[in-house]
Amino acid sequence: MSTPIQRYSASERNNHWLVAIAFVLAALSGLALFHPAFFFLSGLFGGGTWTRILHPYLGTLMALFFIALSARFWRLNHITSADRQWMSRIGDVLRNRDENLPEAGKYNAGQKVLFWVLVTSVPVLLVSGIVFWQPWFAPYFPVWLLRVAVVVHALAAWIVILGIVVHVYAAIWVKGTVRAMTRGTVSEAWARQHHRAWYREMTGK
Partner 1 sequence: MALQSLDIKARSATTTPSPQARGAIPVAKLIDISKCIGCKACQVACMEWNDLRDEIGTTTGIYDNPRDLSDQSWTVMRFSEVEVQPGRLEWLIRKDGCMHCADPGCLKACPAPGAIVQYSNGIVDFHEENCIGCGYCLTGCPFNIPRFSRKDRKAYKCTLCSDRVAVGLEPACVKTCPTGAIVFGSKEDMTLHAAGRIADLKERGFDQAALYDPQGVSGTHVMYVLQHGDQPELYANLPRDPHISPLVGLWKGIAKPLMSFGIGLAVFAGFFHFVTAGPKEVEEEEERS
Q: Give the footprint of partner 1 on this chain (CB under 8 A).
A: 1-2, 4, 32-39, 47-49, 51-53, 94-96, 98, 132, 134-135, 138-139, 143-144, 146-148, 150-151, 154-155, 158, 161-162, 165-166, 169, 172-176, 187-190, 192-194
CB of residue 58 vs partner 1: minimum separation in angstroms? 15
Q: Nearer to partner 1 by C-beta: 15 or 124?
A: 124
List the one residue out of 102, 100, 157 whose CA is nearest residue 129: 157
Q: Nearer to partner 1 by C-beta: 15 or 25?
A: 25
Residues 6+ apart with CB under 8 A from 117: 159, 160, 163
Q: Which residues pair with 6 in a beta bridge?
A: 185
User: Which letter does DSSP use for residue 76 in this model?
Assistant: G
Burial of 36 (0-12, 13-18, 19+ CB in 10 A): exposed
User: Which letter does DSSP use for residue 132 in this model?
Assistant: T
CB of residue 127 vs partner 1: minimum separation in angstroms? 17
Residues carrying an active site annotation = 167
CB of residue 74 vs partner 1: minimum separation in angstroms? 26
Q: Nearer to partner 1 by C-beta: 21 or 28?
A: 28
User: Which letter does DSSP use for residue 106 in this model?
Assistant: S
